[in-house]
Amino acid sequence: MLAKIAGINIPYSAKLNSRAKLKLTFLNRSTGAISIAKDCEIGTGTVINSYGGKIDIEKFVYIGEYVVIYGHGGVHIGANSLIAMHTCIVSSNHGIPGQNVPIRSMPDILLPVKIGTDVWIGTGCTILGGVTIGDGCVVGAGSIVTKDLPPYSISIGSPAKVIKYREP
């Protein structure tokens, strides 16, 4: 284990670029946890922040440059997945109050994100809270995932829609 410091676990075989940032930030009196499995690669400028939730990255995951992962509600990324640069994964949302209440005053709504094994998320995607991306999915560049994607589907667009499935 390279580091097991106050809730962050990184094995020696993980490649963590020196400009990547792993942060444990308090939310609801918890710092959460970040766990990165063996043989993962985390690119330059990537920000992984627990915000009180748990972020679990399984083995052989590649996370490209300038990816942002916020773990408020929990994020799980399955083994052998690829997340291309400039992707944003957010596992929370805000309630929308009436006009006389500032939006900022609303508490976070925790919404877990689950990304299956062998998933490829293209450049510049946004993965919103509460979604599950099934095993073997491909998400086209620039897509915004707002709903669950079934296993082995190929989706594109804003919001992401399934256009076909990977062949057996």
pLDDT in tens, 137-168: 999 999 999 999 999 999 999 999 999 999 98
Number of structural domains the chain divides into? 1
Domain that holds residue 31: 3-7+16-89+108-165
Tell me the residue length of the chain.
168
Helices (H) and strands (E) in the chain, counts: 0, 23
Q: Tell me the CATH number at 121.
A: 2.160.10.10
Phi, psi of 35 (to 5 degrees): -130, 120
Evaluate whether residue 95 is within a structural domain. no
Share of the chain above pLDDT 90, in %: 82
- Determine the Cα–Cα distance for residues 102 and 83; give it in Å rounded to an integer: 34
Evaluate whether residue 102 is within a structural domain. no
Evaluate whether residue 132 is within a structural domain. yes
Pairwise pLDDT comparison (27 vs 54), residue with the higher score: 54
Evaluate whether residue 94 is within a structural domain. no
- Determine the Cα–Cα distance for residues 19 and 14; give it in Å rounded to an integer: 14
Tokens describing residue 51 = 């915000």
Cα dihedral sign for 107, 96, 50, 77? positive
Q: What is the pLDDT of residue 50?
A: 94
Q: Please tell me what DSSP assigns to residue 21.
A: E
Evaluate whether residue 25 is within a structural domain. yes
pTM: 0.93
Evaluate whether residue 96 is within a structural domain. no
* pLDDT-derived band at 29, boundaries 50, 70, 90: confident
Residues classed as catalytic:
94
- Determine the Cα–Cα distance for residues 56 and 9; give it in Å rounded to an integer: 10
Evaluate whether residue 98 is within a structural domain. no
Evaluate whether residue 45 is within a structural domain. yes
